[in-house]
Amino acid sequence: MGFSRTQTIYLALSTDMVWDLLASPSAWLQFDDQLQKFTPVKMVGNRLQVGDTVKVVPKALVRGFVHAITAPAATIVTARENQEIAWRQNQPGGHTQQRWIIHSADDGGTNLTRHTEVVGPLAAPLGVALADPLAGDLGAVGARMFKMAGKPDLSQPLNIIAGGSGYLGSRLATRMLAAGKRVMVLSRNPKSGAPFPQTRWGHDDLVALHEQLMDDAGFNIINLVGRRIGAKFTAQEVDALAASRIPPTETLSRAVRTAEHQGGKLHRWIQGSAVPMWDPKSTAEFTEETSPTAAQDGPDGMGQLVDDWEAAAPKGAIIVRSGVVLGPQTEIIMGLAAMAMSKTRPNIDGFLPWIHEDDWVGIIEHLLTMPRPPKVIVAVAPQQTRLSEVITALAPGLGTRSVPVPATVLSIGMNIIRMEPGMLMGSTRARSEVLEDSGYHFKYPTIAEAADAVTL
């Protein structure tokens, strides 16, 4: 079994600017923080050419150290100016290869695709140990590339992302930066080496935030604060989820009102929310017109939590109720993929509202630019999909799942790994009634397309 991962991002840089970065070996460690080494061994000129060799070592701790000692140098096998560059590192019976493909976008920017693959008998262990770090988030690479070669338009609003250091927030921040947008991530604990600028904030620590809110070009708020939803929904967990969302949202809202009284200009407030998981037997549709508590509350308190979370946002906020987000590094995909490989099927087969992470980012960016955005968006893919269909799509080659897993067994298993069983055993047949008419076009409208993009 081989390893293969392909990602594409948009960069607000011309193709020749992107090529200059890729053809310069000294730039690689600056734009890709998952590399420990990218050192020329033999080069003919000052730009990478076919036949040049480089020492490529990923940041993989002990495995990276062993790899650095034992692995041969990689060879540049393709170098077409402003089009493509690729390196290949041979290993017994196979190789590791990474291709970077440059396509000019209609607006003069660049669509950059990176394809990483490992083939041969060592593909499985090398893919996990070494290629996986090399195939990390391309958005972070794009953000660093733009910082190295581009300049943001200071006349455009500053996009302030609260909760931007989490999985979705960081995906949004890096892709917006790569696209030339101005971004500031609010964090209680800023991370060293992050690919995005950060401002510390808290209930009693608002001075730095106020400075950002007084930006000359105004600002957008994308509010994603809150601990990850997925742990077992005990009363204590629901309280913790609420405490991580509602008070910070209220604090942020007060800070924005203060800034507006002093001349600050709020353009858009995007409020993160969620599609609640309802009773496993539910087949009722959930749309923009549906209340989160319209049906049985699913995991105890989730519908009410969503209701209270949305109510904490200021009047005029755009509510984005997101389904389960699928991405190559999301925890839900790891769990679903494991179930897919087991050839089992759940005894309870409810509707799983899902969306690919690239479409989630695309919808947020779309809402920030629409002349008349809707008040509520249900951010789910257009294909309504049952859990069994998701599992089959993640491992289509294994055929029909013939071994049913009783709900009690699945529940016990999820409790053991401290995940809320209702996340997979609930059912919400979610659908957006406004996205299609808004002009947004899904990159991954079907589960087959999304599964192909998130699995190896």
Q: What is the pLDDT of residue 291?
A: 82
Strand partners, 87: 76, 98
Residues 79, 30 share a domain: yes
Q: Look up residue 9 and give its two tokens.
A: 């991002």
- Domain of residue 134, CATH code: 3.30.530.20
222: closest CA among 276, 285, 267, 274?
267
Do 314 and 259 form a contact (C-beta atoms < 8 A)? no
- The backbone torsions φ and ψ at residue 390, rounded to the nearest 5 degrees and listed phi first, read -65, -45
pLDDT tens readout for residues 381-417: 999 999 888 888 887 766 665 566 666 666 666 665 5
Residues 222, 305 share a domain: yes
Q: What is the pLDDT of residue 127?
A: 61
- Domain residues for the domain of 108 are 3-142
Q: Beta strands 344-346 and 84-91: pairing type? A: unpaired
Please give the Cα distance from 327 to 358 (Å, whole number): 8
Task: Look up tokens 């800023």; give the residue.
Answer: 190
Residues 395, 320 share a domain: yes
Please give the Cα distance from 450 to 104 (Å, whole number): 24
Number of Cβ within a 10 Å radius of residue 425: 22
Q: What is the pLDDT of residue 260?
A: 98
Considering the domain boundaries, does residue 423 fall inside one? yes
* Domain end among 123, 142, 161: 142
Considering the domain boundaries, does residue 446 fall inside one? yes
Considering the domain boundaries, does residue 271 fall inside one? yes
Residues 70, 45 share a domain: yes
Residues 323, 432 share a domain: yes
Residues 301, 445 share a domain: yes
Number of domains in the chain: 2
For residue 42, the surrounding DSSP H or E stretch is: strand 35-42
Residues 265, 196 share a domain: yes
Residues 276, 131 share a domain: no
Residues 134, 158 share a domain: no
Number of Cβ within a 10 Å radius of residue 21: 21
Q: What is the pLDDT of residue 280?
A: 78
- Domain of residue 291, CATH code: 3.40.50.720
Considering the domain boundaries, does residue 147 fall inside one? no
Residues 196, 68 share a domain: no
* Domain end among 142, 176, 192: 142
Do 429 and 351 form a contact (C-beta atoms < 8 A)? yes
pLDDT tens readout for residues 270-314: 999 999 888 778 888 999 998 877 555 556 677 788 888 999 999
Residues 282, 251 share a domain: yes
Instruction: Give mean pLDDT in consecutive 10-residue pieces for the chain, a chain of 456 residues.
Output: 86 98 98 94 95 91 53 95 96 90 98 94 66 86 98 97 93 98 94 93 89 98 90 83 94 96 98 87 88 64 84 95 90 71 72 95 97 96 91 74 64 62 78 93 96 82
Please give the Cα distance from 360 to 99 (Å, whole number): 26
Q: What is the pLDDT of residue 351?
A: 92
Considering the domain boundaries, does residue 436 fall inside one? yes
What is the 8-class DSSP label of residue 131? I
Residues 114, 188 share a domain: no
* 3-state secondary structure (DSSP) of residue 291: coil
Q: Look up residue 273 and give its two tokens.
A: 């929310």
* Domain end among 106, 124, 142: 142
